[in-house]
């Protein structure tokens, strides 16, 4: 029979996950900044992120903010790449990161609004496919949301007969 982990082991695992998310955020900050600025300012942004007191505390204490920060920064980088070189796999990646950000903390869903507006308003190659890209990033987030709403209300989506 499998035993649940003891408290010290669980605490150690939680702290390691928070530290990993913090490390991902630092590298994602460098990556995001590198998309729009030269290398030296990108290094400065990553260093500033790594030593920000609130960031360090949240990484150490397993707060959900550290995870939503990592996914938001990765989503912003994915959005810039999608706008620079539109491709279906980039839109799917952005949708996945938006869903992970929203799943980490409810406030993460706000990036969906900004991503859709940017896709629809920023001129990109292949403007006839803008709506398709906007739908592609929206679908991964809206499908879990709609299924969870149906489960909470007790109704089903098929065969309700109403």
* pLDDT tens digits, 85-139: 888 899 899 999 999 999 888 888 888 888 888 888 887 776 666 666 676 666 6
Q: For the chain, count helices (H), then strands (E).
A: 7, 0
Per cent of the chain over pLDDT 90 is 29
Contacting residues for 102 by C-beta, under 8 A, at least 6 apart: 108, 109, 111, 112, 141
Dihedral-angle region of residue 87 (phi above 0 means left; psi in -120 to 50 means alpha; beta otherwise): beta
Rounded Cα gap, residues 151 and 57, in angstroms: 36
pLDDT computed for residue 147 by the predictor: 46
**Residue 140 confidence (pLDDT) above 70:** no
**Two tokens at 58?**
């949240």
With vertex at residue 157, the alpha carbon angle to CA 106 and CA 91, rounded to the nearest 5 degrees, is 50
């Amino acid at each position: 029979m499998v035993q649940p982990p003891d408290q010290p082991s669980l605490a150690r695992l939680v702290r390691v996950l928070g530290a990993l998310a913090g490390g991902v955020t630092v590298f994602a900050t460098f990556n995001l900044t590198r998309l729009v600025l030269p290398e030296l300012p990108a290094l400065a942004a990553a260093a500033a992120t790594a030593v920000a007191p609130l960031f360090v505390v949240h990484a150490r204490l397993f707060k959900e903010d550290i995870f939503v920060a990592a996914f938001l920064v990765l989503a912003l980088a994915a959005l810039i790449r999608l706008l620079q070189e539109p491709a279906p796999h980039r839109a799917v990646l952005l949708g996945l990161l938006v869903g992970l950000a929203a799943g980490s903390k409810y406030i993460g869903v706000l990036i969906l609004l900004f991503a859709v507006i940017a896709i629809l308003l920023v001129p990109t190659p292949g403007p006839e496919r803008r709506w398709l890209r906007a739908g592609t990033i929206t679908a991964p987030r809206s499908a879990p949301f709609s299924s969870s709403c149906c489960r909470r209300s007790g109704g089903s989506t098929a065969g309700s007969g109403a």
